[in-house]
Amino acid sequence: MAKVTFVTTDGTEVSISDANGSLMEIATANGVDEIEGACGGVCACCTCHVKIRPEWLGKVGKAEEAEQDMLDEEDGTDERSRLGCQVELTDDLDGLVVDVVPL
Amino acid sequence: MPECPYRDPFKEARRKSPVLETEFDGEPVAMLVGHKAVRTAARDHATFSSDAPFRVPIPREEDVRTVRQYPLEVDPPVHAEYRRLIDPFFRRPLEPAYVQRIENLIEELLVDALKRDSIEIVRQFAIPLQSRALTYLLNMPESEAEIWITWGTHVFRDESGVSKGAEMEAYTNSLFDQAESDPGDDFFSALVKARFDGRPLTREEMQGYANIAFAGGRDTIINSVATAFGLLADQPSALIAMRANPKLIITASEELFRFASPVTHLARICPVDTSVHGVDVPAGNLVSLNWAAANFDDSVFDDPEQFQIDRKPNPHIAFGKGVHNCPGAAHARVIIRGLFKKLTEMISAITIVSERRKVEKEADYERVNAYHELTVKLESSASSPDCK
Ligand code: HEM
Ligand code: FES
C-alpha cells in the first residue's frame, strides 16, 4: 500500500493513498482523466502513458523491451515516459508523482 | 482433448525477410510480415500513404462500393479532422451502461442458444450479436439490426458471392435523407450536423463514413466471436481458468484479437519509387501491412502459435497502429470481454458438432481465418435445468 499522485494536463493533482496495483489500474479505478487503459494492461494500446517525475526515475526503473518498443513509436514520449500498466506501485514508491500525458 | 496449434502461414517468409513479394489483382504487392516492419510502416504515412480510394483494402474495392471510406482512405493532416468528427460515437463503449447493455444482449443470446440442441454460431449467434451491438454504437433503434442481419458475414464478399454493397449504399443514403429532414442523436444525424473545417460534409463523405462503419465493423466482429467459440471448444481449460480467475478475461480477450487477427492485412500506396527492405516498389504500387503475420512474429511473441489466455505483455497490432488505429477497438473489446464473462457464468462446455473453416487462398499463402459455419453444442453450467 502506497500513495501516488497523478498530475493531469490542466494541473489538477489527484492523490490516491493506500493504493495498489499498476498505475493504470489505480488511475482507471479512480477516474483519473486521460488514462484509459484500453487493452487492460498488456502493452497493446499506449492509452496509459505517464511521465515519471525526474526524482523518481531511478526507483521506478526502466521499461522492458515490449514496453520500450511501444513508447519509441508514440508521439510525445521522452526518457521519463512509461506505460502506466507496466509500473506496479510497490511500497518503495510511496509518494510517487507522475504526469499524465494526454491521449 | 489435444490443443491444436494454429499454423502461421507467414512463418517461413518472415524467417527469410520482413517483406514477402507477392501479388493481388494481378499486381505486385510488397507484403510486410515482420512486427517491427509493419509497425514502422504504419507510422510513416509520407512513404506509405492511405490516400488511395478503394485500395486500402486488398483486394481493391471499386467493384463493390462507389465512395471513398472515411477516415480510412485519407492521410494526415486532414485525417485528424475526419477522425475527430466520429470519435464521440466510438467512445460510447467506455460508459458502464454500454458495457451492461452488451452483456445483457449476450446473455439473452446465450439463454436462447441453450434452448436448442445445437447452434450454428456464425449465423445464429455472431451475426445477430454484431448487428444488434452495432445499433448501440451508432445509437440507432435496435430494430434496425433486422435489416443489417440480412447482409451476411461480409457486406461486400459474402460466401454466397452476392455483394450487398449497392443495397447497403442505398440504405445508408436513405438514412442520411431521413437525418436531414428529421435529425436525431444517431451517428447518421451527427454526420449531417457535422462541420469539417467549418463546412458541412458532402453526401459522398457521409456515405464514406457509413460505408466503413458497416463494412469494417462487420466481419471483424463476426469472425472474432466465431473464433472465440472455436478456440474455447478446442481448449476447454481456457474457459475453466477464466471462470476460476475472471482477471484472465481481459488478457484472454487481447490474446483472442492477436490470435484471430480478423483483418489479415491492409494496403498503403507508395507515392514515389521506394525501396522497401530491399524490394523496389515503383510509385503507385502497393505495400501490404500484414497485421496477422506481425502478430505471430516470434521475435516479439513466445510460442506465437499457442493461444495463451494469460499472455502479457501482448503488444499485438490486430487493431492497427498509428493514426489510423481502429476506433472500433473499444466496442470490439466490450463485446469479446462480455462474451467471455457470460460464457464463464453460463456455459460449462462447448463441443463442436461441425465446422467449415474460411480460408484465404492467395497467390503465395493460405490463411485460415474464422469460419463459414461452426455448429456447437452448449452445456449450461446451471446444475439443474431451468424450471420457470
Ligand atoms: C475485432 C474487430 C476489429 C478489428 C480487428 C479491426 C481492425 C482494424 C484495423 C487493423 C484498422 C487499421 C486500418 C489502417 O491502418 O489502414 C482499423 C481501422 C478502422 N476500423 Fe476497425 N477493426 C475492428 C472493428 C471495428 C468496428 C466494430 C468498427 C466500427 C463499427 C471499425 C471501424 C474502423 C474504422 C472507421 C477504421 C478507420 C480508422 C482510421 O482510418 O482512422 N472497426 N480497424
Ligand atoms: S493499458 Fe494498454 S498499454 Fe497500458
In this predicted model, what pLDDT tens digit does every residue of A6-33 receive, in sequence order?
999 999 999 999 999 999 999 999 999 9
Beta-carbon count within 10 A of B262 CB: 22
Q: What is the mean pLDDT of chain A?
A: 95
Give the number of A-B residue pairs with CB atoms closer than 8 Å.
Answer: 49
Is A37 near chain B, with CB under 8 Å? no
Q: How far is CA A28 from the centre of its chain?
A: 11
Tell me the residue length of chain A. 103
Tell me whether residue B60 is exposed, middle or buried, using C-beta atoms within 10 angstroms of its C-beta: 0 to 12, 13 to 18, 19 or more: middle
pLDDT in tens, chain B (388 residues): 445 557 899 999 999 999 999 999 899 999 999 999 999 999 999 999 999 999 999 989 988 899 999 999 999 999 999 999 999 999 999 999 999 999 999 999 999 999 999 999 999 999 999 999 999 999 999 999 999 998 877 777 777 777 888 899 999 999 999 999 999 999 999 999 999 999 999 999 999 999 999 998 999 999 999 999 999 999 999 999 999 999 999 999 999 999 999 999 999 999 999 999 999 999 999 999 999 999 999 999 999 999 999 999 999 999 999 999 999 999 999 999 999 999 999 999 999 999 999 999 999 999 999 999 999 999 999 854 544 4
Nearest to A87 by CA among A65, A68, A62, A69: A62
The Cα–Cα gap between B28 and B21 comes to 7
The Cα–Cα gap between B110 and B341 comes to 12
Tell me whether residue A3 is exposed, middle or buried, using C-beta atoms within 10 angstroms of its C-beta: 0 to 12, 13 to 18, 19 or more: middle
Query: Could you tell me the three cell numbers for B4?
Result: 491444436
- Distance from Cα B355 to the centre of ligand 2, integer Å: 35
Is B38 near chain A, with CB under 8 Å? no
Q: What is the pLDDT of residue A13?
A: 96
Q: What is the pLDDT of residue B4?
A: 56
Measured between beta carbons, which residues in chain A are less than 8 angstroms from residue B315? 42-44, 66, 69-70
H/E element holding B378?
strand B366-380
The Cα–Cα gap between B259 and B252 comes to 10
Q: Cβ separation of A69 and B43 shorter than 8 Å?
A: no
Using the structure block, give the residue that is written with the C-alpha cell 477497438.
Answer: B329
Q: Cβ separation of B300 and A39 shorter than 8 Å?
A: no
Please, what is the angle between helix B236-244 and helix B219-234, to 10°? Answer: 90
Amino acid at position B237, single letter: S
Tell me whether residue B342 is exposed, middle or buried, using C-beta atoms within 10 angstroms of its C-beta: 0 to 12, 13 to 18, 19 or more: buried
CATH number of A2-100: 3.10.20.30
- By the 8 A CB rule, do B57 and B165 touch? no
The residues, any chain, with a CB within 8 Å of residue B320's CB and separated by 6 or more, are B42, B263, B266, B289, B291, B326
Q: Cβ separation of B36 and A44 shorter than 8 Å?
A: no
Chain A's closest residue to B321, CA to CA, is A45
| Closest CA–CA distance from residue B219 to any residue of chain A (Å) | 21
Report the share of chain B in percent with pLDDT over 70: 97
Q: What is the pLDDT of residue B344?
A: 98
Q: What is the pLDDT of residue B153?
A: 77
Q: Cβ separation of B254 and A40 shorter than 8 Å?
A: yes
Instruction: Report ipTM for this prediction.
Output: 0.94
Query: Could you tell me the three cell numbers for A91?
Result: 511500497
Task: Count the helices and strands in chain A (H runs, E runs).
Answer: 3, 5
Q: pTM for the whole thing?
A: 0.96
The residues, any chain, with a CB within 8 Å of residue B50's CB and separated by 6 or more, are B56, B72, B73, B74, B75, B79, B268, B269, B324
Structure-model confidence comparison of residues B162 and A39, the more confident one = A39
Is A33 near chain B, with CB under 8 Å? no
Q: Cβ separation of B312 and A73 shorter than 8 Å?
A: no
Ligand 1 lined by B14 (C-beta under 6 Å): no
The Cα–Cα gap between B18 and B38 comes to 9
Amino acid at position A84, single letter: G
The Cα–Cα gap between B84 and B248 comes to 33
What domains, with CATH codes, occur in chain B?
11-387 (1.10.630.10)
Please, what is the angle between helix B236-244 and helix B329-346, to 10°? Answer: 90
- Please name the member of A38, A67, A70 whose beta carbon is closest to the beta carbon of B330: A38
Q: Is the peptide bond before B304 cis (omega within 30 degrees of 0)?
A: no
Question: What DSSP string runs through B162-220?
Answer: ---HHHHHHHHHHHHHHHHHS--SSHHHHHHH-EETTEEPPHHHHHHHHHHHHHTTTHH
Is B250 near chain A, with CB under 8 Å? yes
Measured between beta carbons, which residues in chain A are less than 8 angstroms from residue B40? 73
- Distance from Cα B118 to the centre of ligand 2, integer Å: 38
